[in-house]
Each structure stands twice: as structure tokens, then as C-alpha cells.
Amino acid sequence: MTQPPWTGTEGPEPSGPVISAGAELDPVHPPTRPPVTARRRVSPTGLTTAEVADRVARGQINDVPVRSSRSTVDIIRGNVFTRFNAIIGVLWVIMFFVAPIQDSLFGFVIIANTGIGIIQELRAKKTLDSLAVIGEAKPTVRRDGVAAEVSTSEIVLHDLVELGPGDKVVVDGEVAEADSLEIDESLLTGEADPVVKQPGDLVMSGSFVVAGGGAFTATKVGREAYAAQLAEEASRFTLVASELRSGISTILKYVTWMMIPTATGLVISQLVVKETNVKDSVARTVGGIVPMIPEGLVLLTSVAFAIGVIRLGRQQCLVQELPAIEGLARVDVVCLDKTGTLTEGGMDVAELRTLGGTDEPYVRKVLGALGESDPRPNASLQAVIDAYPDSEDWRCTESLPFSSARKYSGASFSEGNGEESTWLLGAPDVLLPPGDPVLADIDQLNQHGLRVLLLARAAGELDAADVAAGAKPTALVVLEQRLRPEAADTLRYFGEQNVAAKVISGDNAIAVGAVAGKLGLPGAADTVDARRLPAEQSAMAEELDANTVFGRVSPQQKRDMVGALQSRGHTVAMTGDGVNDVLALKDADIGVSMGTGSEATRAVAQIVLLNNSFATLPSVVAEGRRVIGNITRVATLFLTKTVYSVLLAILVVCSQVEYPFLPRHLTLLSTLTIGVPAFFLALAPNTERAKPNFVRRVMRYAIPAGVIAGTATFCTYLLARSHYSGPGALDAETSAATLTLFLVAMWVLAIIARPYTWWRIALVATMGGAFLLVLVVPWLQHFFALKLVGTTMPWAAVAVAAAAAALLEFTWRWVDRRFPADAETRTTSRTTSRRRSHRWR
């Protein structure tokens, strides 16, 4: 076996403490490691094929499973083993022994609903998993002297992994090569300042490169890597941490506490106090308990989210955290980076203007040499490379890679004639002093939406702190950016939806404004140079509210801008694709990355547009609004049933009468007034912007509606008890009460279904027709034990229902006036650090 280039068959132990699998990990303060005192000898060609095979055989591979979704076992467990399914399951078993099969129908409904939930989540899992493979990071590994992209899971111990700007460090390692390598470890430490790395320094998985390049040797792979251990502690896939789900959990908690004493009182009333048939008493007791449980609400929410993931997946949109669908629907400000978002990644050299009488062929040689000096060029430098081929007689002796903080790159050359020269290429307004006459020409170019780079000859050494001072301007490289064809329509959509768009870019403010103007963004003419923005948060927030386009924004400023907007109560989405966008993406309520963006941006973003189409965002917003708006609608239906069921049980206990319904009656009512309509309403289009305070918005309708429905039903029941007598009276009383409850519940459904469309009207009419069919078909009458006796009581039941419907309309309108939805405000305060959570791939 070929030995590795260091001593020992297993390789040396990495310096620093070893973290045990069960140890508690602090994502903000990662374990400190002592400085490396001795360099490991690393082969510049990387491992050989034989060495890789040997490590694979020994299991020294990066075998951490990428969990883009819950496992199949977790999905089944989460849908089957719920609190309410356990309660209903016990009641179902009891009903098998004491009542006909008709009274056990609620159990079959639960099985069907749970099966639907499992199937939909499995479909969503398949979509997520397939998209995660598409968007997976492909690190470059050097083996046998050849660099090639491999899957993250194919990295083995001691692999030589190459790094460039935007690359994520996927395993722990030690720097072997460094070319002005700067790494951002803020995802691990919370410290935003990049760290300069030299050969021998340690790098940890989860950090990413912001400038320069190099390579590192993998010293910890698989579950031993730091990021992998954090991922073990906190799985990335979650169905919580959203207002919708937390609101539903709050509602269910109160329902549970309310249901326990009510159900206990009902059991005592029906089995002990009333001297009726035991089996009939059990059946009616169960009939009173089952409808208290809003079991379908959680299921329907899961189904709505799952279908949302599937729909967005078909558009090549990877939702890395399910609450992101909901979050983007609540957004009222979207911050856009220009490059890669409003414009396509590529650029073209439109013009080369020499300055100071410099010979153009000589400038072309300089540009060609500069392009060759950077092994990982950004989009601007790639355009220069495409336009100007490298001059073979120029040799690069030192290079300074581009960084967002510097706004320029540079290199020193030994020219063909032996002369040494140092050149800088970057932002003109950074390299030139204020008031330089060249800046006036540049402003004119920027006003036409052109991007301009300045080529300048440095007066000092490249490693000098003030290398840009005294640089002599030599040429202007005019670049033409490619506008995304769909950007204008997307910006127009956000405007129509009352979502404010803010363009914040590191480019020249005038150039950014020109691009935004071409796309029809209101306010694009009034641009702001971010270097003159106040640092104080409230003052910055005022500037952000008053303006739309900001240029020369530093990465830290982007983050501060997001925080300033959040301090004003805004829900902020941030889009971007570059390393300079990562800090802002982390702190934004919703981070959106392009699929071709850097690994770092894809790692921290909650939504990745794999097709790189800005036009996908409206679909994500629409999907979120559909989920939130429709779940709010159907939640009102479910909780109205819970309220009237609890009220009926209380009234029965207090009045010491038989419970008016058998389980079969409430199964029929729930199916026709809630179950089937809720399924269609939950999946219907809905473009209304999401509003806060989910629990309050639902309960302000559900409580009065449930009280009115329960009171009207019990009144009809009492009237029927006084009207009917003799054998079969209980069935007649139940039929009359069922008619009233159905009509009132249908009126609630009719209100929820507004505004009406043809299919909503058809849905309500179909449910009404189905109930009428049960009343007129003899075998259905017998099956559901429903038969209206005489004409007086049925019409009385209708009259009571009509009065209740009128009261519902009045109450609904009063609630809208007394508690207007648009007047609701958020009650929770925001801070700029509220989204410092860690997201691991």
C-alpha cells in the first residue's frame, strides 16, 4: 500500500481537542484549537487513486447523509402517532363493540386522511431530495495531479480540496496552499470579519472563502467534521418555527385542556346520570367527544405545505426550510442585489478607453495578463479574459484577488522586456480620489447602465497597505451587463402586491440606478451612495424608507440595511448570489439564492432558485399566500366545529338530557361542511398578502360562529323534545337538531367561501345537495338514522337556522368592523440578531 506523504498509516491526529459524538456543541463559540506548530507535508498532486481506494475501503469518507427532508419513518410516525389519533383510535375501538358500523365511520375517515397526509409528504420528500442533489455543492479535489469536481460525499480523509471565492469548506482541514486566502467563519463564530489563512492554519466546515484561493488537506470527514456534528444536534428539516404552525399548536393546546373536563362531564352525564341503554349512551358520549377534536387541521396544514413544495419543485425551486414558503408570503420588503439577480451573470466588454495617451495594444496585454493571474475570475474579470487573450511573455510574480471590501484586484508582472510593473483593476471611484476629472466621464457611462472598471498602474508594491494611493489611471474598461428578461415583470408584480423593492448593490450607484430604471423600477432615478449613509440604525431606516436604489454597499452595510428595515417592523427578503450577500442573507427573514450562486449563499439561503430565474419568486410568494390564506379559512371551519361541540356538551351536562347526536350524524356533518370543502378551499388560489396574528384572526370568527351554531342546535333540540313523544322520539329529535346544525354550518361555509367564484358556489351547492340526498333516499335515511317526522318541527328547525344565519351575518360584519384585519400589527419586536440561526447542508 502506498503510504501517505506524512508519517503513519492513519495519518497524524488533528491538533486540538476531539469532540465526542454526544458532546454539547456551541455553534456561536466553536471549540478552540491550539495553533499548529508543525506543518504537515502535503503532496501538491493530492492523493493517488490507490490511496483514495484504500481510504474508501477503511470507511474514511465523508459519509454524512444530506437530509433535505424528514425520513420516511419520521413522516409515517409524525402522521400516525399523534395525540388526537390516539384519542380517536381508542374511541373507535370502543365503538366497534357497542354500535353499528355507521357510528364507526369517523375512524375510517381518520385513516383516509392520515394516508393522504403520508402520501403527500412522501411526494414532497421525493421532490426535495431530487432537488437537493441538483443543488448540491461540488467541491474541487486534486487527485493524481488532476483537479476534478466530486460529490461532497466522495471526499476522503487527507484529500487535497481546492478553494476559491465563494467556495464552502465542506470538511475540516488544514491549509496546504494559500494565495491571499480569506475565510469567513461567521457561520461558526458569529464574527463577520474574514480571517486571513496561511499554510498550516486550520479551517472548519461551515466556513467559506471570501477572497483569494488555495487548497486544504481534509483532516476530519464524515460525522467527525464540526459542521456535521452540529447537523446531528439540530436537523435542518423542520415543520415548526413558523407563525402558522406555532399558532395551530397554541390552539390545539387550549383545545386539549378544554376538552378534558368537558368530555369527563359528558361521560358522567350520559353513563351515570341518564338511565338509558348503555350501548346507546356510549355511542352518544363518543359522538359528543369526537367532534371536539380538530384532527384534520394539522393534517391539512401538512398537506398544504407538502403540495406547495411539490408545485415549487416543478419550477426548479428548492425550499430548504418549509416555513420559507410561509415567510416569503409575509414579506413586505424585498432587497435585491443587482448582479446575478436583476442582471445575468455574464458581461461583455463594450468599449476600451485608454487614458493619458497610453498605447492600446499595451493595455490589451496588461488586461490579458491580469485575467490570467486569477485562477477563479469573477464575472467582470471573465469578460476581460474573453475579450483579451493572455500575453505569454508576461509572468505574474504576485497577485491580489478581488474582494468585495476592497472593490479591486491586482497583480505584479515581469514583462517580456524584463521590466517589473504592478497593476490594479477595479472600481474607479475607489481607486481615484474625489474630484478626479476621469470620474465625470465615468458618471456619464454609468447613467446609461454600463459598468466601468478602471485599469491603473500602482506606484508602490502590491502588498503595501496603501497600494491604491497614487495609482496612475491607464484605461477604462466599459462592460455591458445582460439584463434578465423576466426582471421587469417580476418587479412590476411586487409593486402590484404592495411589496417594496430595494436594490442594494456594491456597484456604482448611478450605474445601479440606470439598470433599475431600464427595468421600470419606481424611484430608480434617485440613487444613494451607501458610503454616505448614516451608521445609526434609525437614521439608516429613514433613508431606506425614502429611497429605492443604493450603490457602493459593503457586505456589512447590506446586513445593517436588513436590520434597519426589520427594526421598522418590516418582513424582509434578501436575494443574492455572491459572497458579499451572505451576511445579509443570513439575517433576512427569508434568504433567496440563485442556483449558480456561490456555495456559501446556497448554504445560508432558505430558498434556492435552481433555474436562476428571478421570475420564480412570484410563484413562491403566491404559493405562500395560498397556504396561509387558505389555512386561515379552513381553520375557522375546524375550530367552529370544536366550539359548538364543546358548547353542546356543556349544555347537555347542565340540562341532564341525552346527547342529541350519534357519531354517524357528526361524521356526515363534518364531511359535508368541513372535510371535503376544506380540502378544496385549502388548495385554491389565494393572492391576499399574509397578515400577522393567526390565532387571533381565526378565533375572532370561530368563537362567535361556534357559539351561535351550538346555541341554535340546542334550542331546536329542546323544541323537538317538547314536540315529540313516544317510541322513536329520540331519533326525530336528533334529525331536527341535525337539520339545524347542518344549515348553520353550511352558512358558515358559505361565508368562508367568499368571494364567490363559480367553483366555490358549485362546492357549497354540492354539499347541500349531498345532505338533501341523505334525507330523501330511504336506505341513506336508515344508514344515517335521519328521518324528518311531520312538517311543524322540520320547518321550525329551518326557522331557527335562518335566525342563526342572520345573526352570523351581523356578527361577522361586526367583528370585521370591531377588529379589522388590516389594523392588526405585530406584537413581537425584532432585533438585527434574531436570525443568527445556523443552517447546515
Q: What are phi and psi of 141, to 5 degrees?
A: -120, 140
Specify burial of residue 779 (Cβ count, 10 A radius: 0-12, 13-18, 19+). Answer: exposed
Cβ atoms 328, 362 nearer than 8 A = no
Find all residues with CB under 8 Å of 252, minimum gap 6, and list them. Answer: 83, 84, 294, 297, 298
Residue whose C-alpha cell is 448593490: 505
The span from the CA of 589 to the CA of 328, in Å, is: 8
The span from the CA of 647 to the CA of 292, in Å, is: 10
The span from the CA of 670 to the CA of 678, in Å, is: 10
On the question of a cis peptide bond just before residue 755, with omega within 30 degrees of 0, the verdict is yes
Q: Is the dihedral of CA 538, 543, 548, 549 positive or negative?
A: negative
Helices (H), 236-378: 243-268, 278-289, 295-313, 323-329, 360-373
Cβ atoms 369, 421 nearer than 8 A = no
Cβ atoms 530, 559 nearer than 8 A = no
Q: In this structure, which long-range contacts are made by residues 32-37, counting pairs with CB atoms below 8 Å and at least 24 apart in sequence?
A: 33/202, 36/174, 36/200, 36/201, 36/202
DSSP3 helix / strand / coil % (the chain, rounded to 5): 50, 15, 35
Q: How far apart are the first and last CA of the chain?
A: 34
β-bridge pairing 527-529 and 343-354: unpaired
| Burial annotation 214-240 (CB, 10 A radius, 16+ → b, else e) | bbbbbbbbbebbbbbbbbeeeeeeebe
| Side-chain half-sphere CA neighbours of 775 within 13 A | 16
Residue whose C-alpha cell is 494611493: 469
Q: Which among 508, 509, 426 has a CA at the least distance from the CA of 473?
A: 426
The span from the CA of 12 to the CA of 1, in Å, is: 17
Cβ atoms 84, 295 nearer than 8 A = yes
Count of CB atoms situated within 10 Å of the CB of 200: 15
Q: In this structure, which long-range contacts are made by residues 790-793, counting pairs with CB atoms below 8 Å and at least 24 apart in sequence?
A: 792/723, 793/719, 793/720, 793/723, 793/724, 793/732, 793/736
Cβ atoms 310, 684 nearer than 8 A = no
The 3-class secondary structure across 600-631, one letter per residue, is HHHHHCCEEECCCCHHHHHHHHHHHHHHHHHH
The span from the CA of 219 to the CA of 13, in Å, is: 8
Find all residues with CB under 8 Å of 761, minimum gap 6, and list them. Answer: 753
SS3 label, residue 655: helix
The span from the CA of 826 to the CA of 57, in Å, is: 56
Active-site residues, by number, are: 337
Angle between helices 729-752 and 617-655 (to 10 degrees): 150
Q: Which among 512, 573, 594, 506 has a CA at the least distance from the CA of 547?
A: 512
